[in-house]
Amino acid sequence: MAPSGALLRQCPLLLPQNREGTAYEGFVTAQGRDFHIRILLPVDFQLKNARLECSWHLKRILHGYRHIVKQRLHSCPDLVSFMVELKTILEIALKNTQDLHIPRPPEYYSCLVRDLEILGWNKVTYVDSGLTTVKLKAEDSCGREHLITLKLNAKYPREPPDCLVDFPVQFSVSWMPQNSLVDIYKQFLAALELLKEFWDAMDEIDRKTWVLEPENPTRSATRRRIAIGNNVSVTIEIDPRHPNMLPECYFLGADHEVNPLRTKLNNNMHLWDPDISLLQNLKDLLNIDFPSRAVLEKNDFAKDCGICYAYRLNGTTPDQVCDDPRCGQPFHQACLYEWLQGLPSTRQSFNIIFGECPYCNK
């Protein structure tokens, strides 16, 4: 659940609607204007599965930015961070909406076309009909392709364009009136190299292990849930600025399976070596081999939920497991929550529900 104090400071007009903190309704403010919004969080507070309900006016303004909003929902760690990102996106969208009605002087077009010719048309993947949005592509030193979207206002080149990138960290450009798109492109390339080690670590994990979540990770995603064995997995949160350091690790599975892994991690932390890859470090500290994509299929260790009989539900996979060693049946948290709420024998203490396993009744 998002910290209420921090959320109030960022969005004082957005208030919780229930005691669980899974529903928020109110207004988000940008450029002195208030826009109605409602945010519904799942019971596990995973933002990637949140639902946004906007007023028709806000929906129209954010229409061209839906993929960016969705991307931020996947990458932001909490509601406060997402609301900060949403306000920034809304500010950009409002400014660009206003700019559409401002006629561009002839110098704007001649300057933009000249900049694109100097940069090279082979780097351009998209230009809209009004010459207000440009998408450029670039490869980092490992051959990975990246895109940068430029939203130009009527005062270009006196003012820089807004830059939208799929980065795990903020990307801002330094700009002088004499600068051009070439300067932005150079800064974009430099930023790509700063994130090279982070993407190297992520690519190795995606290539050599079975990643359960996210299903289709974006370049800004800093989290991976990796399969370890039958209904046992670890979620790691990697710092993109220090990708070779020990990440935050959260083990998922039955207690008798994950407790030994937690013990190994705590006892071997001092063995972490920043000079070898993150994946190899995890193997060494946990003294395990992750299931290989070359040897095993995902269904060898990924079981369907014991309640809805599906593996993926609204983008989530089963992450709750019965602790009884003879059972070990996995469930989606949302399914298990709904099931337990319907049982008269269930009891609740603060935000934890205690009840019987739907399979073994333990």
The string of pLDDT tens digits covering residues 280-331 is 999 999 999 998 776 666 666 667 888 887 777 776 778 888 878 788 788 8
Give me the residue spans of the domains in the chain: 3-99, 106-201, 210-300, 303-361
* pLDDT band at residue 63 using 50, 70 and 90 as cut-offs: confident
- Domain formed by 106-201, architecture: Roll (3.10)
* 210-300 matches 303-361 in fold: no
CA-to-CA distance for 315 and 125, rounded, in angstroms?
Answer: 30
Q: SS3 breakdown of the chain: % helix, strand, coil, rounded to 5?
A: 35, 20, 40
- Identify the pLDDT of residue 165: 92
CB of 328 within 8 A of CB of 357?
no
Residue 212 clears pLDDT 50, i.e. is over it = yes
CATH number belonging to the domain at 303-361, selected among 3.40.50.620, 3.30.40.10, 2.30.42.10, 3.40.47.10:
3.30.40.10
CB of 14 within 8 A of CB of 7?
yes
CA-to-CA distance for 332 and 42, rounded, in angstroms?
Answer: 11
Whole-prediction pTM: 0.68
Residue 144 clears pLDDT 70, i.e. is over it = yes
Residue 21 CA to its chain's centroid (Å) = 21
Q: Fold for 210-300, please state it.
A: Ubiquitin Conjugating Enzyme (3.10.110)
Residue that has been written with the tokens 């369907």 in this structure: 304
- Identify the pLDDT of residue 99: 62
- Identify the pLDDT of residue 308: 85
Q: Tell me the C-alpha to C-alpha distance, in Å, between residue 201 and each of 74, 204, 274, 347.
A: 19, 5, 12, 43
Where helices occur in the chain by DSSP H, the ranges are 4-10, 56-61, 66-75, 79-99, 106-119, 181-194, 196-208, 255-268, 278-286, 333-341
Q: Which residues contact 357 (CB under 8 A, 6 or more apart)?
A: 322, 324, 327, 329
* pLDDT band at residue 3 using 50, 70 and 90 as cut-offs: very low
Q: Pick from 137, 129, 178, 172: which is nearest to 156 by CA?
A: 178
* pLDDT band at residue 207 using 50, 70 and 90 as cut-offs: very high
